Structure 1
Amino acid sequence: MSAGSAVTALEEMLGQWRADGPFAPEELARLDAAEVIPTAACRALDDAGLPAYYVPVRFGGRLVAFPEVVAMLRAVARQDLTVAIAHGKTFLGAVSVWVSGSPETAEWLARQIIDGAIVCWGLTEQGHGSDLLAGEVSAERTTDGWRLDGTKWLINNATRAQLACVLARTSAEGGPRGFSLFLVDKRELAPRHVEPLDKIPTHGIRGADISGLSFHDAPLPATALIGEPGKAGETVLKALQLTRTACAALSLGAGDHAIRLATRFARRRRLYGRPVAEMPLARDTIGRAAARLLLAEAVTAVATRAIHVLPREMSVFSAVCKAFVPTIVQEAIEQVAELLGARGYLTGVFEHGEFAKLERDHRLVAIFDGSTLVNRQLLISQFTRLGRGYGAVDPSAADRLSTLVTGPLPEIAYDKLTLISASGCGLTLAVPGLLHRVRELDSGGRLTHVLADFEAACARTHAAIEAYRPASGMPGAHAFALAELYELCVAGAACLLILASRPDDGRTWTLLRGCLELVVERLVPGRHGDDEVFATLAEHALTVDERLTLFARDQEDSPW
Structure 2
Amino acid sequence: MSQALLSTAPLEAQAAGRRAATVERMLGDPADRANPAGHRRLLAADRAATVCEGAEDVLDSFGMNAEFVPRALGGRFDSCESLLRVMRPVWRRDVGLGMGYGMTTFMAASDVWMRGTPDQQRRLARLLLTGSKAAMAQHETAHTNDFVRSQVRLAAGDRELRITGAKPVINNLQRADALVLFGRGAPDGDGLSTVLLDPRGLPADRFRITRRPPADSVGLRGYFWAGARFTDCPVPREALLGPPGGGVVTAERSFQLSRTLMAALVLAAVDSSLRTAVLVERTRAPGAAADPQNTATTLTKAFVNLLLYDSLAVVATRALHLLPTETSVYSAAIKSLLPKVLRDTTYDLATVLGSQLYARDGTVGVFQKIVRDVPIISLGHAGTVACQTTIIPQLTTLARTSWFKSEEAPAALFRPAEPLPPFSYGALATAGGRDSLSASLLATAASLPGGSVGERTLRALAQRFVAELRDLRGRVLALQPPGAPGARTTAWFALTDRYVLVLAAAAVLGVWRASDGLRDPFLADPAWAACALHRIAERLGIRDVDLPPQLAARVHQEVLARFGDGHGFDLYNTPLPH
**TM-score normalized by structure 1?**
0.91
Q: 1:518 aligns with which of 529, 535, 548?
A: 535
Tell whether 2:545 aligns with 1:539: no
The within-5 A match list for 1:453-532 is 453-472=464-483, 476-502=489-515, 506-508=521-523, 509=525, 510-527=527-544, 530=547, 531-532=549-550
Residues 467 and 172 (structure 1), Cα distance of their counterparts in 2 relative to 1, 3 Å cut: farther
SS at match of 2:203: coil
User: What's the counterpart of residue 369 of structure 2?
Assistant: 357
Higher mean C-alpha deviation, range 472-481 or range 260-269: 472-481
User: What's the counterpart of residue 54 of structure 2?
Assistant: 40
Residues 210 and 438 (structure 1), Cα distance of their counterparts in 2 relative to 1, 3 Å cut: farther
Residues 536 and 278 (structure 1), Cα distance of their counterparts in 2 relative to 1, 3 Å cut: farther
Residues 47 and 129 (structure 1), Cα distance of their counterparts in 2 relative to 1, 3 Å cut: farther
User: What's the counterpart of residue 3 of structure 2?
Assistant: none
The within-5 A match list for 1:200-279 is 200=213, 201-270=216-285, 273-274=286-287, 276=289, 279=292
User: What's the counterpart of residue 31 of structure 1?
Assistant: 45
Tell whether 2:196 aligns with 1:196: no
Return 5+ residue gaps in structure 1 as ranges.
Answer: 555-560
SS at match of 1:226: coil
Aligned-CA RMSD value: 2.6
Higher mean C-alpha deviation, range 533-542 or range 261-270: 533-542
2: CA distance between counterparts of 1:103 and 1:382?
A: 34
User: What's the counterpart of residue 93 of structure 1?
Assistant: 108
Tell whether 2:149 aligns with 1:131: no
SS at match of 1:397: coil
SS at match of 1:254: helix
2: CA distance between counterparts of 1:16 and 1:368?
A: 34
User: What's the counterpart of residue 318 of structure 1?
Assistant: 331
2: CA distance between counterparts of 1:52 and 1:441?
A: 49
SS at match of 1:388: helix
**C-alpha offsets along residues 412-442 of structure 1, whole Å, 9 cap, x if unaligned?**
111111111232x111133211223444897
Tell whether 2:346 aligns with 1:333: yes
* Residue 388 of structure 1: how far off its partner (Å): 2.6
User: What's the counterpart of residue 344 of structure 1?
Assistant: 357
* Residue 174 of structure 1: how far off its partner (Å): 6.8
Q: 2:134 aligns with which of 108, 114, 119?
A: 119
2: CA distance between counterparts of 1:529 and 1:258?
A: 28
Which residue identity does 1:416 align to in structure 2?
Answer: A
SS at match of 1:127: helix
SS at match of 2:28: helix
Which residue identity does 1:433 align to in structure 2?
Answer: A
1: CA distance between counterparts of 2:550 and 2:405?
A: 31
Return 5+ residue gaps in structure 2 as ranges.
Answer: 1-13
Q: 1:419 aligns with which of 430, 444, 447?
A: 430
SS at match of 2:272: helix
Q: Is the 8 A contact 1:204 1:361 kept in 2?
A: yes
Q: Is the 8 A contact 1:133 1:174 kept in 2?
A: no
1: CA distance between counterparts of 2:257 and 2:290?
A: 39
2: CA distance between counterparts of 1:393 and 1:415?
A: 26
* Residue 346 of structure 1: how far off its partner (Å): 3.0
SS at match of 1:518: helix
SS at match of 1:274: coil
Which residue identity does 1:428 align to in structure 2?
Answer: S
User: What's the counterpart of residue 378 of structure 2?
Assistant: 366
1: CA distance between counterparts of 2:199 and 2:456?
A: 62
1: CA distance between counterparts of 2:260 and 2:120?
A: 24
Q: Is the 8 A contact 1:393 1:436 kept in 2?
A: no
User: What's the counterpart of residue 11 of structure 2?
Assistant: none
SS at match of 1:180: strand
2: CA distance between counterparts of 1:234 and 1:517?
A: 39
SS at match of 2:161: strand
**C-alpha offsets along residues 241-291 of structure 1, whole Å, 9 cap, x if unaligned?**
100111124421110110000001111113xx4364981111111111111
Q: Is the 8 A contact 2:127 2:177 kept in 1?
A: no
Q: Is the 8 A contact 2:116 2:241 kept in 1?
A: yes
1: CA distance between counterparts of 2:94 and 2:545?
A: 35
SS at match of 1:261: helix
User: What's the counterpart of residue 5 of structure 2?
Assistant: none
2: CA distance between counterparts of 1:274 and 1:533?
A: 26
Q: Is the 8 A contact 2:16 2:85 kept in 1?
A: no
Higher mean C-alpha deviation, range 539-548 or range 469-478: 469-478
* Residue 453 of structure 1: how far off its partner (Å): 2.4
Tell whether 2:570 aligns with 1:549: yes
Q: Is the 8 A contact 1:393 1:432 kept in 2?
A: no
Tell whether 2:400 aligns with 1:388: yes
2: CA distance between counterparts of 1:344 and 1:528?
A: 35
2: CA distance between counterparts of 1:260 and 1:538?
A: 13
* Residue 360 of structure 1: how far off its partner (Å): 1.5
Q: Is the 8 A contact 2:457 2:545 kept in 1?
A: no
Higher mean C-alpha deviation, range 155-164 or range 239-248: 155-164
Higher mean C-alpha deviation, range 311-320 or range 366-375: 366-375
Q: Is the 8 A contact 2:392 2:496 kept in 1?
A: yes
* Residue 42 of structure 1: how far off its partner (Å): 2.2
1: CA distance between counterparts of 2:296 and 2:472?
A: 32
User: What's the counterpart of residue 193 of structure 2?
Assistant: 180
* Residue 477 of structure 1: how far off its partner (Å): 2.5
* Residue 372 of structure 1: how far off its partner (Å): 0.7
Q: Is the 8 A contact 1:122 1:164 kept in 2?
A: yes
Residues 211 and 283 (structure 1), Cα distance of their counterparts in 2 relative to 1, 3 Å cut: same
SS at match of 2:175: coil
Q: Is the 8 A contact 2:312 2:507 kept in 1?
A: yes
* Residue 40 of structure 1: how far off its partner (Å): 2.9
SS at match of 1:155: coil
1: CA distance between counterparts of 2:37 and 2:451?
A: 44
Residues 27 and 385 (structure 1), Cα distance of their counterparts in 2 relative to 1, 3 Å cut: same
Tell whether 2:454 aligns with 1:436: no
Residues 135 and 390 (structure 1), Cα distance of their counterparts in 2 relative to 1, 3 Å cut: closer
1: CA distance between counterparts of 2:381 and 2:181?
A: 15
2: CA distance between counterparts of 1:193 and 1:352?
A: 46
* Residue 216 of structure 1: how far off its partner (Å): 2.4
Which residue identity does 2:176 align to in structure 1?
Answer: A
SS at match of 1:213: strand
